[in-house]
Amino acid sequence: MPWTRDEMAARAAQELRDGMYVNLGIGLPTCVADFVPDGLKVYFESENGLLGLGPSPTVDEVDPDLQNAGGETTTFIPGASAFSSADGFAMIRGGHIDLAILGGLEVSETGDLANWTVPGQFVSGMGGAMDLVVGARRVVVLMDHLNKRGEPKLRRETRLPLTGRRVVSRVVTDLGVLDVTPQGFRLVERAPGVTLEDLRARTDAAVLLPGTPADAQDARSRVRRVR
């Protein structure tokens, strides 16, 4: 069975490491903050000027003045701080974000990301996505494997307007986890009950197995080193 949205967020939370500064995109990626492994200290940053975000608030914790970049109410952990949006973007553009977990509309086998607009549909703007994909040291995309029309979102080439080229390191979907390698998508993990044939039938690109030549230069080559 494919992973549920909570299970997808929990799997994406396994990408976190102690001491990381992390930015979570709007939508499903914000749920990752609810699944931080016990004992792990992670500093979630929001481009609207917050550092030290916690999990989603309970009914008693809701503060309408405390909102993340997606306009959702959030919480603070001890030691958190608030500052201007300009400083929030300075953290991103200055290369101080270790990991960005973002939503996606399409990802190509070379790591191109389209995640901000569908032609013909109104959007208020790109937000911080363009800055994040070039400023964060590593980009993980968290999204469904298929779009609402049942079409693959993992593709040989993206069809939608790009947010960034060759910026994605890893993709977590409801069907599994795949790395972006120079040879294409490499399977890391499958959701329980999902077969390799399921993945390949729902992916518009090759899906390589561990142990193939793609492992010679794996997704670590996609980690961005910002000077």
Query: In this predicted model, what pLDDT tens digit does every residue of 54-80 receive, in sequence order?
Result: 999 999 999 999 998 888 999 999 999
Residue 175 in domain: yes
Residue 194 in domain: yes
Domain housing 124 = 5-222
Round to whole Å and give the CA distance between 144 and 64.
30
CATH number for the domain that contains residue 191: 3.40.1080.10
Q: Which two tokens stand for residue 156?
A: 């040989």
- pLDDT, tens digit, for every residue of 147-178? 999 999 999 999 999 999 999 999 999 999 99
Residue 227 in domain: no
Round to whole Å and give the CA distance between 216 and 227.
26
Residue 65 in domain: yes
Looking at the 3D structure of the chain, how many domains does it have? Answer: 1
**Predicted pLDDT of residue 222:** 42
Task: From the candidates 47, 61, 189, 197, give the one annotated as an active-site residue.
Answer: 47
Predicted confidence band of residue 225 (pLDDT cuts 50, 70, 90): very low
Closest CA to 101 of 31, 165, 150, 157: 31
Catalytic site residue 47? yes
Q: Which helix (H) or strand (E) holds 184?
A: strand 184-190
Residue type for 87, please? D
What would the DSSP string read from start to end of 92-107?
Answer: HHTT--SEEEE--SEE
65-89 CB burial, b ≥16 within 10 A, e <16: ebebbeeeebbbbeebeeeeeeebb
